[in-house]
Structure 1
Amino acid sequence: MNEAAAGGTLAAAARNITKRYGKTVALNDVGIEIRDGESHALVGRNGAGKSTLVSILTGLQAPDSGEVAFFGRPAPALSDREGWRRNVACVYQRSTIMPALSVAENLFINRQGKTVISWPKMRRQSAELLEPFGVDVDVTKPASELTVEQRQLVEIARALSVGAKFIILDEPTAQLDGPAIERLFERLRALQDTGITFMFISHHLEEIYEVCQTVTVFRDARHILTAPVNELGRAELVDAMTGEPGGLSVPSAADRPNVGQKATVALTLRDLSGDSFTGVSLEARKGEVIGLAGSASSGKHQVAETIYGLRKPTSGVIEVDGRKVKPGSVVDALRHGIGCVPRDRHHQGLVLGLSIAENAALTVMGKLGPAGLVPPRQLASVGGSAIASYDIVASGAEQPVSDLSGGNQQKVVMARALAGDPKVLVLINPTAGVDVKSKESLLGVVDRVARTGAAVIVVSDELDDLKVCDRVVVMFHGEVAHEFGRDWTESALVAAIEGVAE
């Protein structure tokens, strides 16, 4: 911890905060104090109240009771947006960068001036803002061309340029690979040394021990503890988050019977090539779980999306039970018995305005009623079954999925993917942005589905997710580079992913 953090000045404080939405208590008399110059982790299960606190700390809504202060001064009025931006900024898991605008326009959005815009000046200042972050991009190009890592750094640079000294990072590593995460952490440490304060929200507990000095735990809308990170063991931290002893319990492939070579092949990829990958051949047998690992540029996500029809291959064959699947067709993939939990649940997995029941039934609407007209009773049954089978915490099947926590939203996506009893289940980053207990629940479903005889493909950057796999195939620069059995070790797998394996 730097001297500023040790000195005791508070960059941000929320005290005695209570917030209700109807009968639901989102925050119950909670508080957090974040010292100037430190990185302070806020952790808790989905639904613990973290997002609600962020909305209050950023002035998007007022608490029912309690107070917020920055650097010893009361927070501005909600109507004073400039005042809030000078004090605090949030880099959300879902980027606020506008892809159609240029990088420079995003950096100066709402600050272009009230008269004539000096474009040369804006571009020059934009380049100067990005230089310390090592973001080597043409600021006149559309922001849609930025990588995930570059978008995050642009958002941080934008916040600092307004004058904010307190930045909230919401799941900043959820879509980054290992090297990008390390580069981000190096920049955060450098900024912290200059007096910038961070509140760091993450479900990756190892990251908290790497970059944070203090951790606060929320559970069930209440404050549970605040402690120095170096004085809190991992098991103790998980216990505080879950309210249960024992830590993370992830199903292991070793707990299932071995799938022999004589088992029927469910999925075949033969010389499959497409966007970012070449010549991938793979067989997945019934009851087998295969992991796809690799860096963000390895092509693993693109392979998975091609299997499900979200992308069209340039060549090669996909077969389910020996029958060819029409390339680039989600409809035909579903018809052949392929289910999928896509990479982005917000844009590809859910219709946020619809209910749990409607989302869970999306892949089987044609089977529930003529011409897609589903009797309300049958729809409610599908929703109720999803809630019961996947341990979804909700008020009922008619509740909009937009009201659910991230972990429960992901369970609805899983329910939708499994509604048609698929022969092949493709899971892309299935536990991204979910809490410890939701991760256990989702990986438990993977184990359960494999035991019923389905083939499962798990694409993930999380090593815990891969423990449920019978085999792990590592991709590097678009090609299959290594394959591991159940007995893989973390060091060997990481070395293969980074391209340094012997």
Structure 2
Amino acid sequence: MPPLLEVHGVVKSFPGVRALDGVDLDVRAGEVHCLLGQNGAGKSTLIKVLAGAHQPDAGRISWRGEPVRLTDPQAAMSLGIATIYQELDLVAGLTVADNVFLGREHARLGLTRPSSANRAAARLLERLGHADIRPTAEVGSLPAAAQQMVSIARALSQDAKLIIMDEPSAVLDSEEVERLFAVIRDLTAHDVAVVYISHRLEEIREVGDRITVLKDGRTVATGLPARETPTREVITLMTGRDIEYVFPERREHPDLDAAPLLEVEGLGLRGSFADVSFTVRPGEVVGLAGLVGSGRSEILESVYGARRPTSGTVRVGGRRLRPGDVAAAVSAGVGLAPEERKSQGLLLGESISRNISLSSLARFARAGFLSRSAEAEAARQQVTALEVRPADVDREVRTLSGGNQQKVVLARWLLRDCRVLLLDEPTRGVDVGARSEMYALIRGLADRGVAVVVVSSEIPEVLGLADRVLVIGDGRVLTEEPAGALDEHRVLDLVMEDAAAHGGPMHTRDDEHAQREGDVA
């Protein structure tokens, strides 16, 4: 029996770049085929070719042994190819059920049948282990992890024979990842094929059957057994060199008695977290570890002023910040690299230069006019310092890889001379080769005296980067310890013990918090 999907010598070029330069791949029914490669290796372009969004310049695609032309997304879907993109393509103003069946609405005699769609969506979400997601809820109001599940439900609703999943676990906690893997195993048991893309090599070993590795738009290896191929071999194929997973050495801080740059005291946000206190000294990296939904991101956003806390204070350099005031935080030297950098941290249609200068435009004003030459020169200095690639500051930031987009966000705050840097999932969607580069960059910022706070869903990353770690469980600080005194098992034990002891999400205790929290003046 021929493979379900075969790709032979596919080539795709864009102005100035050949994104795919001869890709070969075959996917069998009922297998999980893992597609690996650094950012810029061609994975995203290949996905869009298979989804019918891009047309190849050369090469051949076969489906069940027959040549096919995927002229548009509808052609791909008609064959049974469904794609779940890393940047979810949901319509925020529509309900969950509307998104699941978008373009395939339940109707009779020309009239839509919302109740039928709601019931069908509920069955799909229950299959995914998320019966708690209401089909009638507006999808834009859901957290990122729930939105991911809605996108997966949409793929399941299409009766797909091949589902392409691009970084599906990036916004999921460990329990949700296990649910996802259970769904994938159920799909493959019914002869559905899955193309799975992830930078987390441990996931590849757990869920994958075979591996294809892309580098510089070419297939450098295909059909490798996922569980038996050594990690070092996979990394070498992806990068062309040996890379060790090492974090930069923590330096001995000579100024541990120095006054904190950032002081957070009794901070609370009703329904999200309560009574959070910590300090960060110049040159320190403090990590917030915990599961998705524990309140970590909300803490950073409240410190930054993007959310107005219901209790507590934030001080920078001894000066109290006005709550819920981003401008005041930025003026005090606070910068935030948000989790959703594409939607919240970047202007994708603007240049690298404009994205870097965005928070410092006033310094480039001359008699009321913006000096574009001064703006571009300042951006070039940051691009050179952070080794952003490619180094063309006039290039649209949407064309950069995930790692280089993250560098642009950091460059913005370095240009602003920020003293406190808040990093939410700094390596999300960053490939294995660029991660060590990002780690060194973060440690280098601390060595220059910046106070850094890091949130990451990958507990080893928090422990490897931070000097001190706050373990967050269900909106509370469970413990604060030196990073060297913790390990992944200890962190997970603390979180799970807390969940068992208190039960239920933070918002079920609103009345208790209301008694303790007062409005911030």
Q: State how 1:63-462 maps to structure 2 within 5 Å.
A: 63-79=56-72, 81-82=74-75, 84-112=77-105, 113=107, 115-136=110-131, 137-226=133-222, 227-253=224-250, 256-258=251-253, 261-275=256-270, 276-370=272-366, 373-394=369-390, 396-462=392-458
Q: Deviations over 1:93-116 (max 9, x none)?
A: 122222321222222211225822
Q: Deviations over 1:325-382 (max 9, x none)?
A: 1111111111111112111111111111111111111111112224774322212212
Shift of 1:177: 1.2
Alignment TM-score, normalising by the size of structure 1: 0.93
Q: What secondary structure is seen at the aligned counterpart in 1 of 2:279?
A: strand
- Residues 304 and 426 in structure 1, CA contact (< 8 A), matched pair in contact too: yes
* Structure 1: 5+ residue stretches without partners: 1-7
* Structure 2: 5+ residue stretches without partners: 502-521
Q: Distance in 2 between matches of 1:144 and 1:320?
A: 33
Amino acid at match of 2:187: L
Q: Distance in 2 between matches of 1:161 and 1:491?
A: 37
Q: Deviations over 1:73-104 (max 9, x none)?
A: 32344157155344211111122222321222
Q: What secondary structure is seen at the aligned counterpart in 2 of 1:498?
A: helix
The worse-fitting range, judged by mean Cα deviation, of 98-107 and 424-433 is 98-107
Aligned match of 2:21: 28
Aligned match of 1:52: 45
Q: Distance in 1 between matches of 2:323 and 2:146?
A: 32
Q: Distance in 2 between matches of 1:272 and 1:295?
A: 19
Q: 1:69 to 1:84 in 2, by over 3 A?
A: farther
Q: Deviations over 1:369-421 (max 9, x none)?
A: 24774322212212211221111111511101011111111111111122112
Q: Distance in 1 between matches of 2:242 and 2:385?
A: 24
Shift of 1:151: 2.9
Q: Distance in 2 between matches of 1:257 and 1:9?
A: 60
Q: Distance in 2 between matches of 1:247 and 1:36?
A: 35
Q: Distance in 2 between matches of 1:98 and 1:184?
A: 22
Aligned match of 1:489: 487
Q: Distance in 1 between matches of 2:289 and 2:416?
A: 27
Amino acid at match of 1:236: E
Amino acid at match of 1:51: S
Q: 1:277 to 1:55 in 2, by over 3 A?
A: same
- Residues 243 and 433 in structure 2, CA contact (< 8 A), matched pair in contact too: no
Q: Distance in 2 between matches of 1:435 and 1:497?
A: 28
Q: Deviations over 1:443-490 (max 9, x none)?
A: 111111111111110111123432121111101111110122131222
Amino acid at match of 1:496: L
Q: Deviations over 1:47-76 (max 9, x none)?
A: 010000000011111100011122223234
- Residues 168 and 198 in structure 1, CA contact (< 8 A), matched pair in contact too: yes
Shift of 1:202: 0.7
> How many pairs align?
493
Q: 1:473 aligns with which of 470, 474, 477?
A: 470
Amino acid at match of 2:389: V
- Residues 476 and 499 in structure 1, CA contact (< 8 A), matched pair in contact too: no
Q: Distance in 1 between matches of 2:73 and 2:311?
A: 56
The worse-fitting range, judged by mean Cα deviation, of 163-172 and 360-369 is 360-369
The worse-fitting range, judged by mean Cα deviation, of 330-339 and 457-466 is 457-466
Amino acid at match of 1:495: D
Q: 1:492 to 1:9 in 2, by over 3 A?
A: farther
Q: 1:148 to 1:196 in 2, by over 3 A?
A: farther
Amino acid at match of 1:459: V
- Residues 4 and 29 in structure 2, CA contact (< 8 A), matched pair in contact too: yes
Amino acid at match of 1:258: H
Identity %: 36
- Residues 161 and 193 in structure 2, CA contact (< 8 A), matched pair in contact too: yes
- Residues 359 and 412 in structure 1, CA contact (< 8 A), matched pair in contact too: yes
Q: Deviations over 1:107-130 (max 9, x none)?
A: 221122582223333333333444
Amino acid at match of 1:185: F
- Residues 286 and 454 in structure 1, CA contact (< 8 A), matched pair in contact too: yes
Shift of 1:147: 4.2
Alignment TM-score, normalising by the size of structure 2: 0.90
Calculate the aligned-residue CA RMSD, in Å.
2.0
Shift of 1:292: 0.6
Q: 1:17 aligns with which of 10, 26, 32?
A: 10
Amino acid at match of 1:475: I
- Residues 39 and 198 in structure 1, CA contact (< 8 A), matched pair in contact too: yes
Q: What secondary structure is seen at the aligned counterpart in 2 of 1:47?
A: coil
- Residues 50 and 70 in structure 2, CA contact (< 8 A), matched pair in contact too: no
Q: What secondary structure is seen at the aligned counterpart in 2 of 1:10?
A: coil
- Residues 268 and 276 in structure 2, CA contact (< 8 A), matched pair in contact too: yes
Q: 1:241 to 1:497 in 2, by over 3 A?
A: farther
Q: Distance in 2 between matches of 1:431 and 1:90?
A: 23
Amino acid at match of 1:391: E
Q: What secondary structure is seen at the aligned counterpart in 1 of 2:89?
A: coil
Q: Distance in 1 between matches of 2:425 and 2:369?
A: 33
Q: Distance in 2 between matches of 1:260 and 1:493?
A: 28
Q: Distance in 1 between matches of 2:406 and 2:328?
A: 24
Amino acid at match of 2:193: T
- Residues 384 and 391 in structure 2, CA contact (< 8 A), matched pair in contact too: no
Shift of 1:148: 3.5
- Residues 337 and 345 in structure 2, CA contact (< 8 A), matched pair in contact too: yes
Q: Distance in 1 between matches of 2:175 and 2:182?
A: 11
- Residues 10 and 34 in structure 1, CA contact (< 8 A), matched pair in contact too: yes
Aligned match of 1:4: none
The worse-fitting range, judged by mean Cα deviation, of 98-107 and 47-56 is 98-107
- Residues 301 and 428 in structure 1, CA contact (< 8 A), matched pair in contact too: yes
